[in-house]
Structure 1
Amino acid sequence: MHAPSLSHRHAPAIGAGAPDRKGAAVKRLSSLVALAVGLAAAPLLAQEGPRPIEVAPSAVATAPQNPPKLIVAISVDQFSADLFAEYRNHFREGFARLLTGVVFPSGYQSHAATETCPGHSTILTGYRPTHTGIIANNWLDLAAPRADKTVYCAEDESVIGSDHERYTVSDKHLKVPTLGERMRAANPATRVVSVAGKDRAAVMMGGHNVDELWWWDGKAFASYAGRPAPEAVTRVNAATNEVIARGQPALPVPDFCVAHDRAVDMPGGFTIGRGRFERAPGDARPFRASPAFDAAVFDLATQLVRDMKLGQGAQTDIIDVGASATDYVGHSLGTEGLEMCLQLASLDHTIGQFLNALDATGVDYEVVLTADHGGHDAPERHQQRAMPRDARVSDNISAEDMGKAIGAALKLKGPVLYNSEGNIFVDPALLPRQRALVLAEAKKRFQALPQVAAALTRAEIEKTALATTPPETWTLAERVRASYDAKRSGDIVLLLKPRVVPIPKPGPGYVATHGSPWDYDRRVPILFWRRGLTGFEQPLSVETVDIAPTLAATIGLPMPGVDGRCLDLDGGPGSTCPAE
């Protein structure tokens, strides 16, 4: 069973940040302030009707023949294919432009561990988590010398004094290079930039060798220790603190969001479904789960593009942007309420502003937009909307309780079983014969529970070949195999049945999640856009591991041996992929 994934790494306490040390910075606030001021009106823009987008006509080929000068990779955290399908007819700005390009509405994070860190590790590497080594947001290292045995995917746990709560961000657990790293290896002049709302998104898309890598740490945009902040970061941090200090009035509700404006009563005496993102002046707590958070991330990306003059050199540069607010909204308020409708309408505006800023540079840029995973709404709302069998996981599905019962039955001392996000570990201190007995008993007992779809042992997973068929056809064992690492995965991988949400008791700020092997968590959109590219839509399935080799092909960079394949973005007889 995947444990609730909204840990401190999803929603740590957020402060207003340190006061600006440069008074002049506040006087020349970045475009974030102007964008946030206009954010309340952003959803209304979606009612104005489509705006014509100037696209250079194609003379012969249906795709540009020259390499782009800048690659822009955008990940929208928890942006499922279902959300994309639900709202695509309402988009009028950023998403609307991308919809004129090449559209794959059925992209797959094909593995079972549909979490933020594994998903982001696939987008720009071309490899599935079984090869990236990023099998979950967290896993256990029971042999670790520190008392805290939980390892975060983007930390260096060897740092003395660190633990799961106080960690040092690191790229050490990512086993493969990213597209940016490969570009720099081919041409050292290439600049690689990665910015995101979450550290793990920035790290997994940026990789090991970056010029600038920044994430929001709860108070400001931060980076690795000792890395000096460029002026763009200083300006955006000052501007973001100003946005938080000013607060946010309630966003207006566009016509297409009205049907979502309905309260849902939750266990515990609170409601969801009618929030409009109002924030009191100085209240930083709700900032992260709001459209203003994405506005800050994209503002930083915009200013780094301008200040560094990305795409204006002889080489091709790359910038990765991780928009995290959709995930925070989905976890804290669900995916089908008014809050998500307003979030996506606002994000459409924010991405549109970002693309307009890129246009203003005159750079020939290529965009891809996708997501790290999908998501599932709160069962309480599903039960009102024709899905009465949606449920929350029972309290009796607990590795700790199961381990106690097995230990008592086998007369063994100790916890016997440990769990981390569905990876169940048998106590390594047991004798081999004892471990075998515990493993067999745990599989039998877990598999007998009515909400469990499968309890796959290490031996069962390792004998499963990596799938080569379309991802929607994969067995559960093949989905697990795609995110299995022998040194990091559990002795048993536990999978819940469809529509069983692994949150026994929801509370304010955490009502819904993802992490399952089912398609509502696996399917995400993949959109490519470039000026001069003739658009088309391909409804058949592709994978997020196909993104990196597809982008690499447009700049003539070979990527042999990866799990993904090049997607031909030329809708005519030509091809943007290398000849086989």
Structure 2
Amino acid sequence: MTLTRRTWLLVPVLAALAACANSPSSPPSSTPTSTPAASTSAAPATPGPSAFAAKKPPKLVVFMVVDGLPIRQVLGYRDQLQPDGFLRFLDRGAWFANAYYGHGYTVTAAGHSIMLSGAYPQRSGIIGNEWRDPMTGTPQYNTADPRYQYIGNKTEPLAGTSPENYKVETVGDVLRTLQPGSKVIGISGKDRGAILPAGHKGTAYMYMGGTGQFASSTYYMASHPAWVDAFNAAKPADKFFGKTWAPMLPESAYARSVPDGQPWQATSGNGNKLPAVLGAGMDGPGPRFYGNILPSPFGDELTLAFARAAVEGERLGSDDQTDILSVSLSSHDYINHAFGPESRLSHDHFLHLDAYLQSWFQYLDAKVGRDNYIAVLTADHGFTDTPEWAKSQGRDAGRINPAQAVGFVNAGLARQFGEGRWVIGMSGTGFIFDEPAIKAKGLDADAVYAAAKQLVEQVDGVQVAFTRAQLAGTDTTTPYLAQMRKSWYPGIAAPLQVVPKAGWMFGSRLVGTTHGSPYENDTHVPLLTWGPNWVSQGRIEQRVEIADFAPTLSAILHIPSPRQAQGQVLPLPAK
């Protein structure tokens, strides 16, 4: 048992021996040109791993992700928060006012891949949620692995079932290598939100929209433990049938957000007006109802109920070997996509989430002990305001139809290189080409990409495009290039990456909004910590990146950083 129940006192020795071998292979990334410079306010010096060496690691790390939550929403509604939800972090924890992602294509999978690895997509290979093979055009999904199936649930093609495509290790992977008895659990409404933070050696559970259950895959186990079966057998999702999503506050409290029922707000699912009744017009719970739970506050409530079951079923935080529980709450992302972060529906959902967090933290205080765990909250990306709303406020904004953009570029390439469908479509935020046709005509691929770059930059709403040669080069001065380089993995990402103008988005739908740009709305996210035994309290102004968190957590746990981590230890005030 000595090797599998390693005590915390041995880990600093191992960390010291491995420090050189596990240092990042490139220096910490610099501030992107599109984000504000660091504040001139005083900030604590970067502590380094030694600042945490005197503290025994926590029994439990509670790593919280709110999918699609920009920091501007956290601070914009601060006066309406519960006393012990987000305010636990803002009033009694240590938090970073200027925390950013440093990559350019800011989507869910990419963000979740960075948080606990410290590695950008240029190293992890998780360039987006989905993409197409740049040579064949074959669809790819970030956590798809056809060798594995969901347990007790239907597995659709390209469903997320394993971390096979994730080319780096996480803090949890390092922890379980050194302490195999430690548990690492990832839970989310989305497969990618569970699988990527859980890493290669943890266990992921994700919400099944067809059944209302939470399930793992056969990558992790042959069958669920008894506590998962008991949770699903109780059919907790069914209790939300007929439940009303009603505003938490009086109408006057929402004056700072956009009213319901706007023409640019999606009307599918639960509609775009509050109050909304889940399951309205349905005979009873079924796949359509279960799918509609996530784009409501009740998706978060259900996810946190499963997280409580995991704490108890796995006895997380019950001994001196640190466990990691990652909980990614997906509902805010669905709501922001449908209605916009400026909407009352998003505003009200944030207030519901705050109340859920208060209850969750109070549960952890009682079950695990407030002196035994550290809590962290961040987001995988921010959000861009709905273009129609932004335009009504006098801002430059709009939608770029992908098919029309591809058609325009193909017409120009045909004039230069002859008839052909040179661009076969978009992959992530880039263009992929008919590579066999380019080869058959004896053309230089880089010349075709360069010609396509000049054409796509003429499309209304496009800021700039970067070719494979630029992305593989060393230019550090061109705006947005460094960020897009961090999103680009050769052989996986498209050879021509396109950046829309600020306020613009790719999409053929005329409702809702998205994220995925290198601009502040999408890159500036919360990074909040609480844990009186490990961190002090206060607002830290120094600019940091989310990639810095993995090395910081490694220092707190007295273990080496993940091998491919690109961040550095945060200037977190240690106790």
**TM-score interval for Structure 1 and Structure 2 normalised by the shorter chain:** 0.7 to 0.9
Structure 1 unaligned segments of length 5 or more: list them.
1-60, 468-472
**Quick check: 2:52–2:555 contact (8 Å CA) kept in 1?**
no
For residues 302-356 of structure 1, give each alpha carbon's deviation from its aligned partner in whole angstroms, at most 9, with x where no partner exists: 1111221111122111110000000000001111111111111111111111111
Distance 1:454 1:397, change over 3 A: farther
Partner in structure 1 of residue 206 of structure 2: 215
Task: Determine which of 551, 565, 568 is the counterpart of 2:568.
Answer: 565
Aligned to 1:77: 67
SS in 1 for 2:502: coil
Tell me, yes or no, if the aligned pair for 1:63 and 1:569 is still in contact at 8 Å: no
Structure 2, unpaired ranges of 5+: 1-50
Structure 1 residue 437, shift from structure 2 partner: 4.3
Whether 2:335 is the aligned partner of 1:325: answer no
Q: Where do 1:35-184 residues align within 5 Å?
A: 65-92=55-82, 93-99=84-90, 100-143=92-135, 149-156=138-145, 165-167=157-159, 169-184=161-176
Q: After the TM superposition, list the runs of 4 or more consecutive aligned residues in structure 1 that deviate by more than 4 angstroms.
A: 61-64, 157-160, 162-166, 267-273, 394-397
Alpha-carbon shift at residue 187 of structure 1 (Å):
1.0
Return closer, same or farther for 1:361/1:486 CA change in 2, 3 Å cut-off: same
> Residues 437 and 534 (structure 1 numbering): CA distance in 2 closer, same or farther, change over 3 Å?
closer
Quick one: which amino acid aligns to residue 74 of structure 1? Answer: M
Q: Superposition RMSD on alpha carbons, in Å?
A: 2.9
Counterpart position of 1:260: 257
Matches within 5 A, 1:241-252: 241-248=237-244, 250-252=246-248
Q: Which moved more, 1:358-367 or 1:327-336?
A: 358-367
Q: C-alpha offsets along residues 484-503 of structure 1, whole Å, 9 cap, x if unaligned?
A: 11121111001111111223
Which residue, 297, 302, 305 being the options, matches 1:299? 305
Contact 2:126-2:166 at 8 Å conserved across structures: yes
Which residues in structure 2 correspond to 1:271-282 (within 5 Å)?
274-279=273-278, 280=280, 282=285
Q: Is the 8 A contact 1:150 1:164 kept in 2?
A: no
**With structure 1 as the length reference, what TM-score do the two structures score?**
0.79
Could you tell me whether the CA contact under 8 Å between 2:405 and 2:459 is conserved in 1?
no
Moved more, 131-140 or 281-290: 281-290
- The residue that corresponds to 1:496 in the other structure is 500
Contact 2:245 2:297 in 1 (8 A): no
Equivalent in the alignment of 1:380: 388
Alpha-carbon spacing, 1:454–1:555, altered in 2? closer, same or farther (3 Å): same
1:370 and 2:378 matched: yes
Counterpart residue number, 1:482: 486
CA distance in 2, matches of 1:276, 1:113: 35
Moved more, 399-408 or 372-381: 399-408
Say if 1:376 and 1:235 are closer, same or farther in 2 by CA, change over 3 A. Answer: farther
Q: Does 1:393 align with 2:392?
A: no
Q: How far has the Cα of 1:381 moved from its partner?
A: 2.1
Q: Structure 1 stretch 547-556 or stretch 437-446: which is displaced more? A: 437-446
Question: Which deviates further from its counterpart, 498-507 or 254-263?
Answer: 254-263
Alpha-carbon distance in structure 1 between the residues aligned to 2:349 and 2:141: 28
Q: How many Å separate the matches in 1 of 2:193 and 2:377?
A: 14
Larger mean Cα displacement after TM superposition, 534-543 or 317-326? 534-543
SS of equivalent to 2:87: helix
Map Cα deviations across residues 148-183 of structure 1 (whole Å, 9 max, x no partner). Answer: 7010011126789x9985535221111111111110
Matched, 1:229 2:213: no
**SS state at 1:376 partner:** coil
Q: How many Å separate the matches in 1 of 2:522 and 2:324?
A: 28
Using a 3 Å threshold, how does the CA distance of structure 1 residues 249 and 437 change in structure 2: closer, same or farther?
closer
1:315 matched to 2:321: yes
Which one-letter code corresponds to 2:435 in the other structure? P
Counterpart position of 2:40: none
Query: Residue 114 of structure 1: CA displacement?
Result: 0.1
CA contact (8 A) 1:276 1:339 kept: no
C-alpha distance in 1 between matches for 2:171 and 2:320? 18
Give the corresponding residue for 1:544.
Answer: 546
Q: Call closer, same or farther: CA 1:322–1:395 in 2, change over 3 Å.
A: closer
Contact map agreement 1:98 1:528 (CA 8 A) in 2: yes
Secondary structure (helix, strand or coil) at the match of 1:284 reads helix
Q: Could you tell me the TM-score, scaled by structure 2's length?
A: 0.80
The percentage of counterpart residues that share the same residue type is 27
Query: What does residue 447 of structure 1 align with?
Result: 457
Matched residue type, 2:237: N
User: Partner of 1:134: helix, strand, or coil?
Assistant: coil
Q: CA deviation at 1:400?
A: 4.6
Q: Secondary structure at the match of 1:550?
A: helix
* Structure 1 position 261, deviation (Å): 6.0
Query: C-alpha separation between the residues in 2 aligned to 1:231 and 1:421?
Result: 39
Deviation, structure 1 residue 462: 0.8
CA contact (8 A) 1:418 1:427 kept: no
Q: CA deviation at 1:436?
A: 4.1
Q: Which residue of the partner structure matches residue 509 of structure 2?
A: 505
Aligned residue-pair number: 497
Instruction: Report how far residue 105 of structure 1 moved.
Output: 2.2
Distance 1:90 1:240 in 2: 29
